[in-house]
Amino acid sequence: MGSISAIDEKTGRKFYLDDPDDMKPGEEVVFVLSLHGGGSVGAWQRLYFPAVDYKEKYRLVIATPSAATKEPARRWVGEADDEHLRNIVDHVFEKYGRESIRSFWLVGHSQGGMTSNRLLREDPFFKERVDGWLSLSGGRIGPIELPASFFVPVRGPMPAAPQGDGAPRPGRAVAPECDISFIFAAGEHEIVALPETSPWAEKYGAGPRVRLADVVDDQPGQIYDTSREGKSTPAWGLLPRPGTAQVYVYPNARDGRVIADVVRLDKGHTEGLEPRITEELISMVAGAPGGKARAARA
């Protein structure tokens, strides 16, 4: 047990697979499938969201793959990637035992978050199995705006948003038709403002949002967008540094579902998550209800 480079035997593609070093056969675990953003790779994602540092404490199994498409930038597109992700889930269920998967979460940064959203909306395989989605700057279920400066360092000015209240656009996810817990985390500089309400919380009859104690990190994250060093913006992200995060939860959601918003102050889109806020997010993931993996069709 520990950290290995695993292989999707159906496609030959490799992915990272991390589990507790002291894991016992048949032990219950929380399974996390962690997807990188556009232009990135699995190795970067493991450092951006270092859940691996908490795999012993919270009994995590973490799969971190890389997308196949490389031009014009590496990103999750097409059936080949979707098949690979389904194969990874089947591999984990078989390796650890379906009955040992206490809960299954999709975690995605940026385009990896929007890919998570797409899978939950369109793919019955994931709808039937996923218990929660942690969106790391990968779209929020509900209204949110990105500042005009967000895309400037990489792609030029942000394109106009599609019209219509239900239209997906950068920063905004589309509500899936399945039951999941949902956590949204973003940097302060990559959003105009965090809404005070959540349609996902309303769906589950949760109470008004409650602000928890701020999470203060005296250590920086482990990674950043090195390709933009010296020419980035606060919205896109600067160098890693210590910071403070605001944590909001919507309490008493039906069936105990976890619904939360997290804002990392003075941070943008690409600074890696600091250790204490990483653990706070992992703690919420590990504490959320599960069971869909066990009930899903084989």
Q: Where are the domains of the chain?
A: 3-295
Q: CA 19 → CA 76, 95, 105, 134, 231, distances in Å?
A: 24, 11, 15, 19, 37
Token code pair at residue 60: 């995590």
* pLDDT bracket for residue 238 (50, 70, 90): very high
Give yes or no for residue 71 having a pLDDT over 90: no
CATH number of 3-295: 3.40.50
When pLDDT is averaged across residues 10-16 and rounded to a whole number, the result is 95
Give the per-residue pLDDT at 152.
63
Give yes or no for residue 72 having a pLDDT over 90: no
Give the per-residue pLDDT at 179.
97
% of the chain beyond a pLDDT of 70: 92
| 128-155 residue pLDDT tens | 999 999 999 999 998 888 887 776 655 4
Give yes or no for residue 8 having a pLDDT over 70: yes
Give yes or no for residue 158 having a pLDDT over 50: no
Give the per-residue pLDDT at 1.
62
Question: What is the distance between the terminal CA atoms of the chain, rounded to a whole angstrom?
Answer: 25
Token code pair at residue 256: 């105990």
pTM of the model: 0.93
Phi, psi of 293, rounded to the nearest 5 degrees:
-60, -40
Compute how many other C-beta atoms are within 10 angstroms of the C-beta atom of residue 54: 19
Give yes or no for residue 97 having a pLDDT over 60: yes
Reduce the secondary structure of the chain to three states and give it as a string: CCEEEEECCCCCCEEEEECCCCCCCCCCEEEEEEECCCCCCHHHHHHHCCHHHHHHHHCEEEEECCCCECCCCCECCHHHHHHHHHHHHHHHHHHHCHHHEEEEEEEEECHHHHHHHHHHHHCHHHHHHCCEEEEECCCEECCCCCCCCCCHHHHCCCCCCCCCCCCCECCEECCCCCCCEEEEEEEHHHCCCCCCCCHHHHHCCCCCCEECCCEEECCCCCCCCHHHCCCCCCCCCCCCCCEEEEEEECCCCHHHCCEEEEEECCCCCCCCCCHHHHHHHHHHHHHCCCCHHHHCCC
Give the per-residue pLDDT at 162.
42
Give the per-residue pLDDT at 169.
53
